[in-house]
Each structure stands twice: as structure tokens, then as C-alpha cells.
Amino acid sequence: MILEIVTPEATLLNSEVESVMVPGINGEFQMLNNHAPIVSLLVEGTVRFKGGEVKIEEAFESKFTNTKEEYALPIKSGTIEMKENKIIILAD
């Protein structure tokens, strides 16, 4: 599935991933390939995702942490939409 992370400044990520974990308003939840469509608000926390061939542009690598194939990006708030195997996160 495709993960796109957009902030007011730039599109930080547009890459193929295997799983995504986000801080939803009712707690953290995970999305895998072929997840049902969803729209949700996000709260302060960490967006975590895994993938074998995640491609992060060099200019934005410093915003992410990477441990054992899991990437993490701290956010203050945002929204998420999952539809047709594409996840778009609008984050602050």
C-alpha cells in the first residue's frame, strides 16, 4: 500500500509500506494492506510504519527515526484517510 505524509511545509513521504500505526483520537490503531476505508482525526503521538523498500527524500530524513525496519515520525495532530490501499496523513 502507499503512504503519503503531508505537512503544511511539504510532502514528507510518498512510499510503499507494509503497515502503518497512528495515534487516533480513541487510541492507537494499525492499518495493513487492503484495510477497510477509514477517515479519522489524529492526536499528538507518533506515526510508525514498516516497509522493505521505504524511500524517504534526503531533505526530510532527519524528521524520521529508524529502528529495525520501523520508521517513526512525531506529530502534534492531523487527519488520516485510507482508501483503495492508499493512506494520506495530513499532519502538523
Per residue in 36-81, pLDDT tens? 999 999 999 999 999 988 989 899 999 999 987 799 999 999 999 9
| DSSP states along 55-78 | -B-GGGGGG-EEETTEEEEEES-E
Q: How much is the pTM?
A: 0.94
Closest CA to 2 of 74, 91, 88, 71: 88
Which amino acid, one-letter code, is at 47?
Answer: V
Domains of the chain, with CATH numbers? 2-91 (2.60.15.10)
Separation CA 88–CA 15 (nearest Å): 11
